[in-house]
Amino acid sequence: MAFARENIRGSIPALITPMKDGKVDEAAFRKLVNWQIEQGSHGLVPCGTTGESPTLSHEEHMRVVELCVEEARGRVPVIAGAGSNSTDEAISLTKHAKKVGADAVLSVTGYYNKPSQEGQYRHFMAIADAVDIPILLYNIPGRAIVEITVETMARLAKHRNIVGVKDATANLMRPSRERNAIGNDWRLISGEDGTALGYMAHGGHGCISVTANIAPRLCSDFQNACMQGAFEQALKIQDRLMPVHDAMFCEPSPAPVKYAASLLGICSDEVRLPLVSATDEAKAKVKAALTGAGIL
């Protein structure tokens, strides 16, 4: 049976990649995947930015996607990070994700090489033509410098494999503009915890979340409330989690969330250069936020 785009919804953690002595900690990752599902997460994203995909080797990247699919066992959708600023490399990672059983992929725009809108259009169309798998575009101008305009998305959405967007612009005009340009089938997924409540109120379908790594139940409850239109209840959870959302980005991610995970006994706080572990000041902020939210 074909994967239904409606299954991309709710609280979807952008999974950290646990590390130990410089290597991927596979046992910790397997445990993390199972815990996420038990805690009510609606989907999983391995090998996104939060998963340190830029510093994973290709072999590690593919292995982490495989592990995620293996452990999820079809209980929730796995949306594998498969983006690159090299189109050939993105196609290769997307083919691998399809081969090992991922349900969809997350594909980022051309960071560093700054393609034009036409260049981005051709990049994503080449991936969509090469691999028959649902693709979420990843619009993150803060990291990629370039953004995917509404007009370019509307062109891309005509391809049956391009099903929606992870929107990390924090621009709450985008969901309404995209829906008007593309239609109600377009999957609108926030990529920004702090504005996820507003995004959902604007017709969003879910959030690919950093905070969900360490507060999966609260993030799942928040998304369930939003999806039911219970925005008063969602607001209470949002207010409780806002200091946590802020703390997760007090230093370059995923250092703060990995430190938070270490406090919860999930994995070590190890990250790979050029990222460094959270400073003492950041650790104090993370600890205070987790304690205030009742997570610690």
Catalogue the active-site residues.
Answer: 138, 166
* Helices (runs of H) and strands (runs of E) counted in the chain: 12, 9
CA dist., res. 270 & res. 275, Å (int)? 10
Torsion of CA 188, 140, 126, 185, to 10 degrees: 10
CA dist., res. 199 & res. 138, Å (int)? 15
The SS3 of residue 81 is strand
Residue 91 · residue 67 · CB < 8 Å: no
Q: Cβ–Cβ contacts within 10 Å for residue 49, how many? A: 22
- Maximum CA extent, the chain: 50
Please give the helix or strand (H or E) that residue 120 lies within, else none: helix 117-130
